[in-house]
Structure 1
Amino acid sequence: MIKIRTHILRASSVIGLMLFLLGCASYNDRILPYYKNVSAGNYKEAETQLDKNSLIQKPRNKLLYLMEKGRVCHLNAEYENSNKYFNEADSLLEQGLTSTADEAVGVLLNPMEQRYKGEDFEKFMIHYYKALNYLYLHNTEDAIVEARRITLQAQEQGDKFNNKDKRYSNDAFSLMLQGMLYESNNDVNNAFISYRNAAEIYLKNPDKTYYGTRIPLGLQEDVIRTASLNGFTSEADQFENTFGIKYEPKKPAEGGELIFFWENGLAPVKTQVDLFFSLIRNSDGDLFFTDAAGGLLIPFNYNGDRNRVNTKSVESMRVAFPKYTAQTPYYSGAVITNNQQQIPLEKAEDINELAFKTLQQRTLNEMSKILSRLAVKKIAEYAVRSAAKDNNGKTNSLIEGLGYGLQLYSLLSEKADTRNWQTLPSYISYARIPLQKGENQITITLKNARGTDETKTIKINGNGRLQFYNYSTLR
């Protein structure tokens, strides 16, 4: 019996060590060659690395694979292929990625083994890239369909939360984009509605900011301009008073306008932080988790008989929780010049801020799920170890060894979900650039980390219409 027990303990230790070594590597660590090539602008090699990476090829990571594949194809100007993957990602989301079996995986193993369901802001970004792809393919009709789907996405998000809930349930940038898409199709009425809806999201906050982004002056002018174009004089006056600006209509440029998006830096990386909790019972008999400092009290969501739970069996639990780590962009600023006229860029979407704040908003709920999952493991482990002793006080070495194995597994298998769509930019800025008829040479002057300027020139043919261009500096 002693030999059996020794073998079980050794096997448990080996398995535990393997789990620990696997657990040390985050999602980012295991797919780093892909991200390095994206950052360096080697998009073809990045696509090769993505296709041969065994982790992202797993069925549970299919949504991530499709989003990354769509993104790298877009960066490589393969717009049809890009939308093929984004459409498949959309289809997955519409079908739903939650099931009883998938939830059970999260309880018995860890959330990294569940299907990746996407962050809320990532779902909006799919529409952004799909719309651009359609525009670059001169498919305005499908770009407008994508604009309408932004509203459906917003409604779906809103249904998840109470209207009074201040959590992220809409996206001001997506509504701005929606207005721009309608405007490109000469639908000024729907453009006004979209711009107004975007502005109202900012105006709900006293400082007129939304997740790290102050309401752009360009959006304020777009609301007033489209209100005037629709003949909504009272609405135009009202928004002038609300914004505190006097809008002066400008003569439309002969060559139309270019909406220029600058996608700078890379989204934050998810890492893992370890916290330690114990289970306590209050005077009413209710069970709560408390951290080492005693500053947190989180209810225990348990379907079994709480009165039979021994709190001593759930002590010193290590909780692996996801944490975002920001990546400092290489470029700190940019200036756009066209025909010797400088056009300022305004921040439109701060993905860094969205990532940090939305994770923070769901922290207690997520932590409750993780702690409850770990406690169930602990209770099972304690039950096995208790069963190892019979009424005469003798120990069954085999059962005791299984108990120790469960203990080691519970400790070392715990792993945070460190997955996210990491080739999204850190933030997106934009500018409306008036164009002359014919060829326009637009210069982008970038301020790099060494404090020196780098310039890039793009050529745009002014055709009298509203056009779009997105430029990425993903490092």
Structure 2
Amino acid sequence: MINIRRNIFKASFFLGLVLFLSGCASYNDMIASYYKQIAAGNYTEAVKELDKNKLLQKPRNKLLFLMEKGKASHLSGDYENSNRYFNEADQLLENGIGGAMDAVVGTLVNPMTQSYKGEDFEKFMIHYYKALNYVYLGLNEDAIVEARRITLQSQEQGDKFNDKDSRYSKDAFSLMLQGLIYEQDGDINNAFIAYRNAAEVYLNSKDQTYYGVKIPAELKQDVLRMADRNGFTAELSRFEALFGMKYQAEPKPEGGELIFFWENGLAPVKKQEELFFSLIKGSNGDLFFTNLGGTIIIPFNHTYSNSNFSLNGVESLRATYPKYQAQPPHYSSATLSNGTQTVSFEKAEDINELAFKTLDQRFVKEMGKVLTRLAVKKSAEYALRQSAKGNGKDGKDNSLLEGLGIGMQLYSLLSEKADTRNWQSLPANISYTRIPLKKGENTLTLDLKGAGGNSDSKTITVNGTGKLQFYNYSTLR
């Protein structure tokens, strides 16, 4: 009997050890070879790393694979294949990811085993890259369709929350992009509506700042210019008052204008954080979790519990939760020159800020699910151990139940793992500027400056056609 117990304990221990060792690595660690290539600008090699990465080939990570494949293909200039991957990702999101069984797996094991459903800002970024791909391919009608889908995405996102003022319910950058696409197409009415909607997101936010981005001066000019071109005198006056500026119409440049998007740095990565809680019964009989300092109070979620649930055995809980870790970008500022005029960039999207704040916003809801799941597991472990003791009283061998109890305890402890997945090739932030072009060939110089005083420059050639054009450049390090 002693040998049986010893063998059961060893088996449980080694099972736990395997789970522990496999659970230590974060998602970032497991795709490190791809991440290294994308950060170094070796996009062709990055695509190869994606294709041979076993983790990303798993069905539960299909959305991540498609988004990374779409981004890597975009960076390498393969816009057609890029949109093929992004369209598949889009379709996956529209059809719905996961289901009842997916939720069960996540409950029994950990969120990392569930299908990845994407962060809200990641879904908006799919539209950004798809729209640029269509423009670069000369498929302007498709770019317009993508612009319209931004409105649908905004409505869907807004419907998720009642408290929309403090939640990420709209993406101001996507609305600005929508306006730019409409303006390029000559649809000045819809361009005004999109610019106005973007501006109002900022105006309705504290200090006219939305998730780390202050309302761009360029956006103010866009709103005023489109109001003027549409003959909306009342709207022009209203926004002049709101912006505290007077609009001065300027002649359109002969060669048109270039909207230059600068994608700088890399999005933050997710690491695992450990937190400890206790389950307590309040004076009114309600159950709630609290951390050691009593600074966090989370209601017990009865979704996972049943009539057999008992507080017995649930003294303390070790929970895991993802925590973002920012990656300081190599470059801190940039300017763009056309030879006669130099313009600065304005931040349009701060993915760092979005990542940190949106994760924080859902902490209470998601941690409530995690803690309740852990409490139910602990309650089941306690019941199993009690059964083992009961069997021992009548002289029967309780080694199996004892071993199962130990195994279940180790499994619950060591299988607990936070979901550290995210779309990691996204930039830390996106800045933009508008620069006039002359008719014919234009040589533009992008000057990049690092925090340490180092600088680099890139020269690009653009043919001035008299129309509005787009260009995006990435410094992913």
TM-score, normalised on structure 2? 0.97
**Unpaired segments ≥5 residues, structure 1:** none
Classify the secondary structure of the residue corresponding to 1:277: strand
Classify the secondary structure of the residue corresponding to 2:57: coil
For 2:447, which of 423, 427, 445 is the aligned residue? 445
2:130 counterpart residue number:
130
Distance 1:424 1:335 in 2: 22
Distance 2:378 2:82 in 1: 45
Distance 1:110 1:64 in 2: 18
Give the 3 Å change call, closer, same or farther, for CA 345–172 of structure 1 in structure 2.
same
1:424 counterpart residue number:
426
1:346 pairs with 2:346 = yes
Residues 213-258 of structure 1 show CA distances to partners (whole Å, capped at 9, x for unaligned) of 0000000010010001000011001100100011211111000000
The one-letter amino acid paired with 1:95 is N
Give the 3 Å change call, closer, same or farther, for CA 165–365 of structure 1 in structure 2.
farther
1:322 pairs with 2:309 = no
Q: Give 1:23-422 correspondences, 5 Å limit.
A: 23-162=23-162, 164=164, 166-303=166-303, 309-390=309-390, 393=393, 396-422=398-424
Classify the secondary structure of the residue corresponding to 1:429: strand
Distance 2:71 2:245 in 1: 38
Count of residues in Structure 1 that have an aligned counterpart in Structure 2: 475
Distance 1:380 1:310 in 2: 9
Distance 1:392 1:117 in 2: 47
1:466 counterpart residue number:
468
Classify the secondary structure of the residue corresponding to 1:289: strand
Give the 3 Å change call, closer, same or farther, for CA 305–345 of structure 1 in structure 2.
closer
Distance 1:391 1:355 in 2: 51
**Unpaired segments ≥5 residues, structure 2:** none
Distance 2:304 2:268 in 1: 39
Distance 2:411 2:421 in 1: 22
Verify the 8 A CA contact 1:287 1:306 in the aligned structure 2.
no
Classify the secondary structure of the residue corresponding to 2:55: coil
State the shift of 1:177 in Å: 0.2
State the shift of 1:317 in Å: 1.4
The one-letter amino acid paired with 2:399 is S
Question: What is the root-mean-square deviation in Å for CA atoms of aligned residues?
Answer: 1.4
When structure 1 is superposed on structure 2, of 160-169 and 88-97 the one drifting more is: 160-169
Verify the 8 A CA contact 1:332 1:447 in the aligned structure 2.
yes
Distance 1:350 1:374 in 2: 35
Distance 1:306 1:32 in 2: 42
State the shift of 1:305 in Å: 7.1
State the shift of 1:452 in Å: 2.0
Residues 319-370 of structure 1 show CA distances to partners (whole Å, capped at 9, x for unaligned) of 1100000000011111111123111110000000000000010000010011
The one-letter amino acid paired with 1:404 is I
Give the 3 Å change call, closer, same or farther, for CA 391–19 of structure 1 in structure 2.
closer
State the shift of 1:2 in Å: 2.1
When structure 1 is superposed on structure 2, of 280-289 and 49-58 the one drifting more is: 280-289
Verify the 8 A CA contact 2:98 2:114 in the aligned structure 1.
no
Distance 1:392 1:431 in 2: 76
Distance 1:204 1:447 in 2: 33
Distance 1:307 1:82 in 2: 51
Classify the secondary structure of the residue corresponding to 1:388: helix
Distance 2:14 2:196 in 1: 60
Distance 1:468 1:208 in 2: 26
Classify the secondary structure of the residue corresponding to 2:170: coil
Verify the 8 A CA contact 1:285 1:307 in the aligned structure 2.
no
Distance 1:452 1:2 in 2: 68
Distance 2:391 2:410 in 1: 26
State the shift of 1:8 in Å: 1.0
Distance 2:113 2:309 in 1: 27
Verify the 8 A CA contact 2:392 2:398 in the aligned structure 1.
no
State the shift of 1:158 in Å: 1.1
Distance 1:305 1:444 in 2: 59
The one-letter amino acid paired with 1:330 is H
Distance 2:173 2:255 in 1: 26
The one-letter amino acid paired with 2:195 is Y
The one-letter amino acid paired with 2:79 is Y
Classify the secondary structure of the residue corresponding to 1:455: strand
Residues 277-326 of structure 1 show CA distances to partners (whole Å, capped at 9, x for unaligned) of 12111222221112122222211112577786443411221111000000
